[in-house]
């Protein structure tokens, strides 16, 4: 767990990250050494299991880059496993209501704030070498909970979700949102763009948490940052795949 990431998030500092979907600690380490502020280890769509995830978090710590885990669902056990591995926090997909967001926050924190079960024998507990009180205190200071807004059904509830205490950021999922609104593969469609802008303005109007979004390229990073998204994330798989395709084309003449 990298100290201070939650503070940078709360201060609305510009943060640039990379999704890592391939089950590779080396790619995580590469992203850290390259200079990204954080990585999102994708267990919603990626194939990594618990043991690989722990090694990916370990690689993030080695490279001094914060790690968030996009969990498969908001089920408490998924959030528990990610945080026991030592991740800085979780990205929870498909939040529809404020109750969904509150449940995700509760699952990420120990009592009395939440319902997370405690074990100091985990990596987060330094394999029994920290006290339960120290583990609870560090988690209170450092654990980050980010909720993903990516469904048409969530749009009427954005203001209420943004008011949930303990939700550190709201991450727009343009791919799923565009599909949910009937425009798969068209995140730039006017109706989708209007929905994303409505999310942003609603969150800002209630003084909600930091806003995050996904970018396909450098130009989109700049555009999103100019439009109020302080946290922007790219896909490490797409970066590598595009570069490999360009390279293969160029060397084949």
Kindly list the catalytic residues. 45
Q: Which residues contact 85 (CB under 8 A, 6 or more apart)?
A: 50, 53, 54, 57, 69, 122, 123, 124
Question: What is the Cβ-side half-sphere exposure of residue 12, based on CA atoms within 13 angstroms?
Answer: 9
């Amino acid at each position: 767990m990298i100290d201070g990431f939650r503070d940078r998030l709360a201060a609305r500092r510009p943060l640039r990250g990379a999704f890592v979907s391939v089950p590779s600690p080396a790619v995580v380490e590469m992203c850290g050494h390259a200079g990204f502020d954080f990585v999102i280890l994708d267990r919603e769509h990626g194939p990594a299991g618990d043991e690989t995830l722990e090694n990916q978090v370990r690689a993030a710590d080695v490279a001094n880059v914060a790690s968030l885990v996009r969990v498969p669902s908001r089920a408490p056990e998924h959030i528990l496993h990610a945080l026991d591995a030592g991740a800085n926090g979780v990205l929870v997909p498909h939040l529809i209501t404020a109750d969904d967001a509150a449940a995700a926050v509760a699952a990420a924190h120990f009592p009395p704030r939440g319902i997370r079960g405690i074990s100091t024998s985990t990596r987060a507990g330094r394999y029994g070498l920290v006290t339960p009180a120290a583990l609870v205190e560090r988690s209170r200071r450092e654990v980050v909970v980010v909720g993903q807004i990516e469904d048409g059904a969530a749009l009427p509830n954005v203001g209420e979700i943004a008011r949930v205490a303990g939700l550190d950021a709201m991450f727009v999922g343009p791919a799923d949102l565009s599909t949910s609104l009937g425009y798969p593969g068209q995140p730039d469609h006017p109706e989708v763009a209007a929905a994303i802008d409505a999310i942003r303005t609603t969150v800002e109007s209630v003084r909600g948490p930091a806003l995050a979004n996904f970018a396909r390229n450098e130009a989109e990073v700049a555009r999103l940052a100019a439009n109020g998204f302080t946290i922007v994330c790219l896909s490490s798989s797409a970066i590598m795949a595009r570069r490999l395709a360009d390279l293969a084309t160029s060397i084949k003449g």
